[in-house]
Amino acid sequence: MDLMEKMKVLISSRSFGKINSGAIELLKNNGLEPIMNPYGRKLNEEEIISLLDDAVGIIAGTEKITEKIISYNDQLKVISRYGIGLDNINLKAASQRNIIVLNTPETPKIAVAELTISLILNLLKKIVNVDKNVKSGLWKPEIGNILSGKTLGIIGMGRIGKQLVELLLPFKLKILAYEINPDNEFISSSKVKLVSLDTLLSRSDIITLHIPLTKQTEHIIGEKELAKMKKNAIIINTARGGLINEEDLYNFIKEKEIAGAAIDAFEEEPYIGKLKDLDNIILTPHIGTYTVETRKNMEIESAKNLIKALRKVKEL
């Protein structure tokens, strides 16, 4: 009999297994019984609890894993995050109950970096705007800007920030970075210049965020920071909702105090706020890791993380 036979694991992520069944089969082949999200959307607290009976593990997406969820089931031993960020999980509550929390930090970096570049180019070339024009019967070219030679400011030089630098090498950008724990070897070899946040904001043509959401980084970009940006600058957030004060961003774009923005992560999702009323902003539904290759690899990695951690717990 398998060490973990008949153990239940809740897969709360709505997208898990939709593209490829490999991770589901991996769980089953290791004696686990997956309990799938039956709603096809992000689960709320009560819905997660209703599915959690007897589960020893959770494979979680971006839905909030609260203290109430963590304390509901004494058998819960592992939370395997299907993605990078851990801000949706109450880590303090998990630690107090000796629950192992894992994530998949390496796999998504290329997809998120590529999305960032796509959004930058779309904003600079005004592709979304002119696409709408043509489809509405209006042949109206709009003047854009080139990316080559611009000054790029990267807030956060972790895995994704570094990947972004490597992918952007052919554009010969001047790259500024704000990072509290820099990889000095990478910074030096890539000719990235470490600067203060204020310097980055005031000198960059393009600003992109690649940091986790914490108490220290929440609204790291607000009215005061936006006021330091160039009027022709753009800002990109493919990291976490809550890093940018959305009300302040709306005001600055509406009044043309900055040139535009692209946002892939929001404080509340699905997003229904007034940023969608603006023309010079691109809004995407948290698609940073939504590629066939990335999703498949993230699913396999999160399933392996869960299996390995559960085996470790059971062998103790």
Residues catalogued as catalytic: 240, 269, 286
Measured distance CA(38)–CA(66) in Å, rounded: 20
In angstroms, how far is the first alpha carbon of the chain from the final one? Answer: 18
Residue located via tokens 């109430």: 68
* Cβ neighbours, 10 Å, residue 12: 27
The structure tokens listed for 261 are 């923005």
Please write down the long-range contacts of 251-255, taking CB distance under 8 Å and 24 or more positions apart. 251/223, 252/223, 252/226, 252/227, 253/278, 253/280, 253/281, 254/278
Q: What are the angstrom distances between the C-alpha of 148 and each of 15, 96, 154, 235?
A: 36, 50, 16, 17
Instruction: Give the side-chain half-sphere CA count within 13 A for 157.
Output: 26
Q: What single-letter DSSP state applies at residue 206? A: E
Instruction: Give the side-chain half-sphere CA count within 13 A for 135.
Output: 6
Measured distance CA(280)–CA(301) in Å, rounded: 37
Q: What single-letter DSSP state applies at residue 65? A: B
Cα angle 215-13-263, degrees, rounded to a multiple of 5:
50
The structure tokens listed for 292 are 């066939």
Q: What is the CA radius of gyration of the chain?
A: 21
Measured distance CA(202)–CA(275) in Å, rounded: 23
The values of phi and psi at residue 194, to 5°, are -75, 130
Measured distance CA(166)–CA(49) in Å, rounded: 42
